[in-house]
Chains A and B, each alone.
Chain A
Amino acid sequence: MPLLEVKDLKAYYFISRGAVKAVDNVSIDLEKGESLGLAGESGCGKSTLGFALMNMLPPPGRVVAGSIKIDGQEIVGMKEDELRKRIRWQEIAMIFQGAMNVLNPVYTVGYQVAEPLIYHKGMGKKEAIEEAKKYLELVGLDPNIVNRYPHELSGGMKQRAVIATALIMSPKVLIADEPTTALDVIVQAQIINLLKELKRKLGLSIIIISHDLSVISELADRLAIMYAGKIVELGPSDSVYSDPVHPYTKALLNAIPRLRKKQERLEFIPGAPPNLLSPPPGCRIHPRCPYRFEPCDKEEPELVEVRPGHFVACHLYTRR
């Protein structure tokens, strides 16, 4: 049994003009000690999926259907109070996007890292902060910064503190939502190395969400590509990265420069992601897809296995 099992998950935002189908029928799972990358353009629903896994979509967002099981325990439909007390941060924690604002400017870093201990384990403030020091050290920070305020820390230090916060309850599953966005390139590399090291040392089971495929390729064992609320390709990292199957993945990979591979020219993907209020019928990429053919605008493609463990949702592979 996988550690995290997501089945047919639908998460919509309900606004006055209708429902934005940000996550539509997504199924993934995560084994213990595994890391899964979730990539896609901005607005494809990958962050929504991340929040849905914590079951804390900001209103007007809501999980409409499907199931999320952590270690066999269903969390969809669980009461908010129970989620807060038993699931979040204990079972599943999150490294938030945008380290700049995740830390409250008027509290010390130590307090904010230690906060989960205070509310989940009922520790005293002092004791909790002592514990937090260990985790700060673990992420490569000087433990004495517990008394500092966020504005005294650099972006990279803040991101490390955020990672320490996520680790402090030793959650079974960790979600890293854009862990390196808004950081300098060098700091990005440092954070990636830190996550790699933590993964190795602690055996983390982790879902990394990023629009940056190079970040994911460094960290993920498996890779899922999302487009307009759906997973279009899912497979072992190497397999997807070196030999993508889906036309969208191909285009996406061509849009980033590479060092080791010969590349004709950088490509961009024409058009823009669809409006998720009323996504196009059939395959959602078809208006932008150069290979579209007869069934694409009518039937939705299912995920099919093209190579061992490598799935793709494209009529090019289901119909041939």
Chain B
Amino acid sequence: MGIGKYVIIRLINAFAVLLIALFIVSLVFSTAAEKELKAQIYEEIMAQLNANPQLQKAFAANATAREQWIETQKKLKFELYGLDKPLFERILIRVGEQLRLKFGKSHSLKSRSGSSEVKDIILEALPRTILLFTTGQIVVILIGLYLGLKAAQRAGSMLDQSLSIFALLSYSLPMWWTGMLFIILFSFYLNIFPSGGMMSVPPPEGLISKILDLLYHLTLPMFTYVFVVFGGWAYTTRNVVLSQLQEDFVMAARAKGVPENKVLYGHVLRASAPPIVTMTIGSLLGSIGGAMISEVVFNWPGMGRLYWTAVIQNDVPVLLGNTTISIILFLASLIVMDLMYMYLDPRVRIGAAAAMGE
């Protein structure tokens, strides 16, 4: 009961942040991109005029009538796009549209089904990003936890020292650049992985070979992600576990006769989980950015690649929609992290429930 309330409050909080972020986004759009829209409208009207010989003839003698006609057309179009309303109202309307995922149409891009609705384009890219990012993250968590535990267990050993050095080195590696290097190495020189894309062209027949093909294309980008991120995770895990290993309850558990691997994977790991989650939230959210840029390098048609294309094509609706979805994605992962933390740490879980229950 209390937990449910806590979750709801957390959601409301995230929603407030979302509104503010969307407000900023819409403000940016309204001040800058509308200029472009207005110019576009003007061009549209002129094109309409030029395409209509009857109108041209009617206006040939009468310049003021022509002006008037243009003005009314402008007004109509402005109303259509909501440009006649005051700035603040326009921003609010836009925030509402963003919330309902009404991003409009793209100038230059189309989804695979042929729709130029920005929403369709993004919803096509989103699962691909999630596929790459989550599989990579799962591998990172598994490797990071395992190595971190091992290193903490043998603090000061070769493994521990090399892990610490590797973590420090990979701390400042740009993920996308590492990806470029890996393409040169594994794709150009060794020729064991494809240099990019998500599927072979043409795609193979049959579901199983399609999945295998996808995995084959997924390997190198995922490996890059894991390579750059796991060191930091392992190092954080190592530090947290090392400090937990010195806690009295570990000694107590050993004394009570709990077998060593149960001490490690039960008591220590369970108790380390909440601080590990907190300490890695930042790094995880930081690596989302790097991962998105890496999509460009690997030609992986997800959200990051979409940014690249939209920037090159100067496709503002796509940029805007992509930003909104990224923000939602980001906030959602924050909430997931928060809830995970709550689930893992009874002090928060029960503390929060008790605080709400009053």
B19 contacts A by Cβ under 8 Å: no
Considering the complex, give the chain B residue whose CB is closest to the CB of A54.
B255
Q: A41 to chain B: closest CB distance in Å?
A: 22
B24 contacts A by Cβ under 8 Å: no
Chain B positions within 8 Å of A101 at CB level: 247-249
Q: Are A106 and B270 in contact (CB-based, < 8 A)?
A: yes
Q: Are B273 and A120 in contact (CB-based, < 8 A)?
A: no
Question: CA of A152 to CA of B347 in the docked complex: distance in angstroms?
Answer: 8
A103 contacts B by Cβ under 8 Å: yes
Chain A positions within 8 Å of B350 at CB level: 149, 151-152
B271 contacts A by Cβ under 8 Å: yes
Question: CA of A42 to CA of B61 in the docked complex: distance in angstroms?
Answer: 108
* Other-chain contact of B256, A58, A97, A115 (Cβ < 8 Å): A115
Chain B positions within 8 Å of A54 at CB level: 255
Q: Are B257 and A105 in contact (CB-based, < 8 A)?
A: no
B90 contacts A by Cβ under 8 Å: no
Considering the complex, give the chain A residue whose CB is closest to the CB of B272.
A106
Q: Are A151 and B270 in contact (CB-based, < 8 A)?
A: no
Contact A104/B255 with A149-B346, A149-B347, A151-B347 known, Cβ cut-off 8 Å: no
Question: CA of A93 to CA of B252 in the docked complex: distance in angstroms?
Answer: 10
Q: Are B249 and A102 in contact (CB-based, < 8 A)?
A: yes
Q: List CB contacts (< 8 Å) of A62-89 with chain B.
A: 84-85, 88-89
Chain A positions within 8 Å of B346 at CB level: 105-106, 149, 151
Contact A103/B255 with A149-B347, A152-B350 known, Cβ cut-off 8 Å: no
Interface string of A9-35 (1 = CB under 8 A from B): 000000000000000000000000000
Contact A94/B255 with A103-B249, A104-B271 known, Cβ cut-off 8 Å: yes
Chain B contributes a number of interface residues (CB within 8 A of A) equal to 24
Question: CA of A38 to CA of B9 in the docked complex: distance in angstroms?
Answer: 54
Interface string of A126-170 (1 = CB under 8 A from B): 000000000000000000000001011000000000000100000
Q: Are A89 and B255 in contact (CB-based, < 8 A)?
A: yes
Contact A88/B255 with A106-B345, A152-B350 known, Cβ cut-off 8 Å: yes
Q: Are A102 and B252 in contact (CB-based, < 8 A)?
A: yes
B141 contacts A by Cβ under 8 Å: no
Chain B positions within 8 Å of A107 at CB level: 267, 270
A45 contacts B by Cβ under 8 Å: no
Q: Are A96 and B252 in contact (CB-based, < 8 A)?
A: yes
Q: Are A116 and B257 in contact (CB-based, < 8 A)?
A: yes
Chain A positions within 8 Å of B252 at CB level: 96, 102-103, 165
Q: Are A120 and B249 in contact (CB-based, < 8 A)?
A: no
* Other-chain contact of A106, B256, B344, B351 (Cβ < 8 Å): B344
A selection of 22 A-B contacts at a CB cut-off of 8 Å is A56-B255, A84-B257, A88-B255, A96-B248, A96-B252, A96-B255, A101-B249, A102-B248, A102-B249, A102-B252, A103-B252, A104-B271, A105-B249, A105-B345, A106-B274, A107-B270, A115-B258, A116-B257, A119-B256, A149-B346, A151-B351, A165-B252
